[in-house]
Structure 1
Amino acid sequence: MDIEKIRTLIDLMEEKELVNLEVSSGDDYVSLTRHYDQPAPAMMAAPTAAPAPSAPAADSKPAAKAGSVETSPMVGVFYAAPTPNDPPFVKVGQKVQAGDTLGIIEAMKIMNPLEATQSGIIAEILVDNSEVVQFGQPVIRYKA
């Protein structure tokens, strides 16, 4: 792929405010990722704006939930089960081992398994089936 095509892709990323972009055409493959020193303003607006109008005591408890989280390694669509008719990979209260499949993230028609990076018990599934997830977005919370 020539440099002009790559520059066009970079311009597209900036115009559409994309964080990740992967393109393949024949034998050519390009993966572009933007890194920010600070979170983008759009990402900061929602979390800071939501707690302010509400009562501080009510919002501080959910924000202080204990336990670690699994985050999305890419932008894509989260699927909780291998097919619509199958049971979900994990349920709340289920014990998982590092390496177990927690779900699937579809990106550019490629199904990527979301694997547990640690062992633990699932406390909460933070996204719905077929929901679009962003890079770094919390998907699964473990019990502390």
Structure 2
Amino acid sequence: MPIDFQQVRELLAAIANTDIVELQLKDDDFELTVRKGGMAMPAVASDGVQMATMPSPPVVIQAASSTPPPVESSPPPTIDPKWVEITSPMVGTFYRAPAPDEPPFVDIGEAVRVGQTVCIIEAMKLMNEIESEVAGQVVEVLVANGESVEYGQVLMRVNPN
């Protein structure tokens, strides 16, 4: 059975909001161990590919599967060091627009100003507007609409004015 990383992200987000210190799930072809506290170490699958980490609170994730994760064919884009990253201040669900039938707050290539709402993070049924802390042009949106995000995860990058 292939690993559904979206379900793993949702499970990690749920665990992060509880007092659970350790969780271990095992199946015939999949094993997941989550530990909160102590030093965070990168999670590594049996084939050596880094899977996921949670920046805060520290979590150690170990996963093994008989099915190797998919390999991306395109190289990662070059990141300009002057770009400013807009990160998620919480665990939740990322939304690009205020409603499903409305246009996104911002698109790639659009200008943003300080204090402008760039997305919404839903956490515990509360909609939290995320505002830009920099004026500039949006160069990357790294999260898909409706995708779960972690604390500190980069949502988008802005080329400052």
TM category, shorter = 0.5 to 0.7
Structure with greater helix share of residues: 1
Count of matched residue positions in the alignment of Structure 1 and Structure 2: 109
Q: Would the alpha carbon gap of residues 95 and 54 (structure 1) be closer, same or farther in structure 2, given more than 3 Å must change?
A: closer
Q: Would the alpha carbon gap of residues 93 and 54 (structure 1) be closer, same or farther in structure 2, given more than 3 Å must change?
A: closer
TM-score normalized with structure 1 length = 0.64
Where do residues 100-119 of structure 1 align in structure 2 (5 Å cutoff)?
100-119=116-135
Tell me the equivalent position of 2:147: 131
| Aligned CA-pair RMSD | 2.8
Distance in 1 between the 2:97 and 2:72 partners? 35
Kept in 1: contact 2:84–2:134 (CA 8 A): no
Query: In structure 2, the residue corresponding to 1:45 is in which secondary structure?
Result: coil
Aligned pair 1:65/2:66, yes or no? no
Tell me the equivalent position of 1:89: 105
Q: Which runs of 4+ in 1 moved over 3 A?
A: 16-19
Q: Would the alpha carbon gap of residues 18 and 121 (structure 1) be closer, same or farther in structure 2, given more than 3 Å must change?
A: farther
TM-score normalized with structure 2 length = 0.58
Percent identical pairs in the alignment equals 39
Where do residues 23-102 of structure 1 align in structure 2 (5 Å cutoff)?
37=39, 39-42=40-43, 45-46=50-51, 59=75, 62=77, 64-66=78-80, 67-102=83-118
5+ residue gaps, structure 1: 1-8, 20-33, 48-52
Post-superposition offset of 1:86:
0.8
Q: Which amino acid is the alignment partner of residue 42 of structure 1? A: A
Post-superposition offset of 1:130:
0.4
Post-superposition offset of 1:100:
0.5
Query: In structure 1, the residue corresponding to 2:43 is in which secondary structure?
Result: helix
